[in-house]
């Protein structure tokens, strides 16, 4: 059942639209919470109440469109309308339900329903907020198709569920970390069933989600995923065996579970080897970049030390000249030697020279320590990349080996290593 909804104003226009005579039959099924028993007047009541608020879109209108080839009883329409009402917090709000019957574009006679709620909470005089209506209505639609066993439009398939054979490296790692919730698996299989009308379309839908259809070892049909888990189609979709056979046939042309596992292993091994190659190239490119940054940093540090050494050398020459100029020449110099002043100046110069030497050493140490910190920061990045590369490549090599074991007949070793640590879905064949 496709649900389409919108928040809107225009009470009179909406009422007249719902009463259009282009429909072969118009049935005002319910007017709840209104004083009037006329649709136009009822929706105008909602407008009158909204005048006490700032709300412009005071109505929420939803159409309920089941598959044209299905005879849907009124009670199912009511249940769907109630579900929408509860989901959006509209329980108890004034509500109108109108049924239409008319010939659709495909020539089939369509029976569908429209439900209109007042969004104004008369007690608090505020409009009930309705965020994400399109997304939520789509989710409810998907649930209704699955629950009723109707063929579901392909557009309702969840796009986030992807085929593991197309995973990126990040998606593969995420899939390994998160595992699979049995409820998600059941929903995925039921969605694939809901959009299919024969074995070919069912296999295609499964393939888009990374599942494989096979012939069960005992009887019936099974589905396998990329982890080689086996799921009985009847049990996991919730349909009877006779219904499964009616859609899928006898299954004689399908591969066995063992053959399917070998195929999965081959395809997954190829995909993981591709990922490993891409990962190696990406890591090498990153390593080359870090190596270049390392060399650039070394060159920069060498230049900084050269500049400091040159600056200190020039300063040492200037300071030496200053110290030399403190000595008098000629008779004054001779007199300074006799009086001991020359010895005093020399001693002061020597002390100053040692201080300058210590200052230069301290400056050089400060530069070295600063450069060491910068270099260590870069080295830590290099080491993290190396550890990351070792871990990822090791994990990929292990995954590839496990799938290779399947292809070479060592299935038991693979399945033991692939068993979940906690209780997971039971294998059904």
* 245-257 pLDDT per residue, tens: 888 888 788 888 8
pLDDT at 396 over 70: yes
Longest dimension (CA), the chain: 133
* Range 145-159 average pLDDT: 69
More confident: 24 or 18: 18
pLDDT at residue 104, rounded to an integer: 67
Q: For the chain, percent helix, then strand, then coil, each to nearest 5? A: 60, 15, 25
In the chain, where are the structural domains located?
2-150, 164-255, 267-413
Lowest mean per-residue pLDDT among 15-29, 144-158, 220-234: 144-158
More confident: 419 or 29: 29
pLDDT at 166 over 70: no
pLDDT at residue 410, rounded to an integer: 58
- Binned at pLDDT 50, 70 and 90, residue 158 comes out as low
More confident: 365 or 143: 365
Query: Which DSSP category does 255 fall into?
Result: P
Q: What's the mean pLDDT when you consider all of the chain? A: 83
Residue 289, burial from CB neighbour count under 10 angstroms (0-12, 13-18, 19+): exposed
What SS3 state is found at 229?
coil
* Structure-block tokens of residue 338: 């006799």
CA distance 11 to 44: 6
For the beta carbon of residue 66, count every other beta carbon within 10 angstroms.
Answer: 21
pLDDT at 74 over 80: yes
pLDDT at 427 over 80: no
262, 228 contact by CB (below 8 A)? no
Q: What is the DSSP string of 61-82?
A: EEEEE--TT----HHHHHHHHH
- Binned at pLDDT 50, 70 and 90, residue 114 comes out as very high
* Structure-block tokens of residue 395: 């994990």
Lowest mean per-residue pLDDT among 57-61, 135-139, 205-209, 301-305: 205-209
Lowest mean per-residue pLDDT among 89-93, 146-150, 213-217: 146-150
CA distances from 242 to 125, 141, 249 (A): 55, 26, 10
What SS3 state is found at 2?
strand
Q: Would the CA dihedral through 255, 261, 264, 269 be positive or negative?
A: negative
- Binned at pLDDT 50, 70 and 90, residue 412 comes out as low
pLDDT at 190 over 80: yes
What's the pLDDT tens digit per position in 198-222?
888 888 888 888 889 998 876 688 9
pLDDT at 340 over 70: yes
- Binned at pLDDT 50, 70 and 90, residue 308 comes out as very high
Instruction: Report the candidate in 290, 278, 287 with the shortest Cα–Cα distance to residue 170.
Output: 278
pLDDT at 375 over 60: yes
CATH code for residues 2-150: 3.30.930
- Binned at pLDDT 50, 70 and 90, residue 355 comes out as very high
pLDDT at 282 over 90: no
- The set of residues, in sequence order, having a beta carbon less than 8 Å from that of 204 and lying 6+ positions away, is 196
355: Cα separation from own chain's centroid: 63
Instruction: Report the candidate in 31, 61, 34, 29 with the shortest Cα–Cα distance to residue 48.
Output: 34
pLDDT at residue 327, rounded to an integer: 87
CA distance 61 to 97: 10
CA distance 1 to 79: 12
Residue 221, burial from CB neighbour count under 10 angstroms (0-12, 13-18, 19+): buried
CA distance 405 to 386: 28
């Amino acid at each position: 059942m496709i649900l389409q909804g919108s928040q809107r104003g225009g009470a009179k226009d909406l009422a007249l639209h719902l009463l259009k005579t282009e429909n072969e039959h118009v049935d005002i099924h319910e007017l709840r919470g209104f004083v009037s028993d006329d649709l136009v007047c009822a929706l105008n009541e909602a407008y009158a109440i909204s005048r006490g608020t700032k709300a412009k879109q005071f109505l929420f209108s939803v159409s309920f469109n089941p598959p044209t080839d299905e005879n849907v009883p009124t009670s199912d329409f009511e249940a769907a309308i109630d579900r929408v009402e509860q989901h959006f917090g509209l329980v108890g709000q004034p509500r109108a339900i109108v049924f239409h019957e008319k010939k659709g574009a495909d020539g089939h006679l369509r029976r569908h329903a429209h439900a209109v709620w007042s969004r104004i909470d008369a007690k608090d005089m505020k409009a009930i907020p309705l965020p994400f209506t399109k997304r939520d209505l789509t989710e409810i639609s998907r649930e209704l198709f699955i629950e009723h066993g109707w063929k579901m439009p392909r557009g309702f398939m969840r796009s986030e569920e992807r085929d593991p054979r197309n995973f990126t490296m990040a998606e593969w790692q995420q899939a390994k970390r998160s595992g699979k919730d049995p409820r998600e698996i059941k929903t995925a299989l039921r969605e694939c069933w809901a959009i299919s009308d024969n074995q070919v379309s069912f296999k295609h839908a499964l393939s888009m989600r990374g599942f494989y259809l096979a012939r069960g070892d005992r009887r019936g049909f099974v589905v396998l995923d990329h982890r080689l888990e086996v799921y009985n189609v009847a049990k996991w979709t919730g349909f009877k065996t006779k219904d499964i056979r009616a859609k899928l046939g006898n299954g004689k042309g399908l591969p066995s579970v063992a053959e399917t596992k070998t195929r999965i292993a081959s395809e997954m091994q190829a995909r993981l080897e591709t990922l490993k190659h891409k990962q190696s190239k990406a890591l090498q490119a990153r390593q080359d970049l870090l190596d270049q940054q390392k060399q650039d940093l070394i060159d920069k540090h060498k230049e900084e030390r050269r500049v400091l050494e040159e600056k200190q050398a020039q300063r040492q020459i200037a300071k030496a000249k200053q110290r030399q100029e403190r000595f008098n020449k000629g008779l004054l110099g001779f007199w300074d030697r006799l009086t001991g002043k020359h010895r005093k100046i020399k001693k002061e110069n020597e002390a100053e020279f040692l201080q300058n030497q210590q200052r230069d050493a301290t400056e050089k140490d400060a530069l070295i320590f600063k450069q060491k910190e910068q270099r260590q920061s870069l080295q830590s990045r290099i080491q993290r990349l190396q550890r990351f590369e070792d871990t990822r490549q090791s994990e990929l090599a292990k995954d590839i080996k496990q799938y290779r074991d399947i292809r070479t007949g060592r299935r038991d070793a693979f399945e033991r290593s692939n068993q979940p640590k906690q209780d997971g879905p039971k294998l059904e064949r």
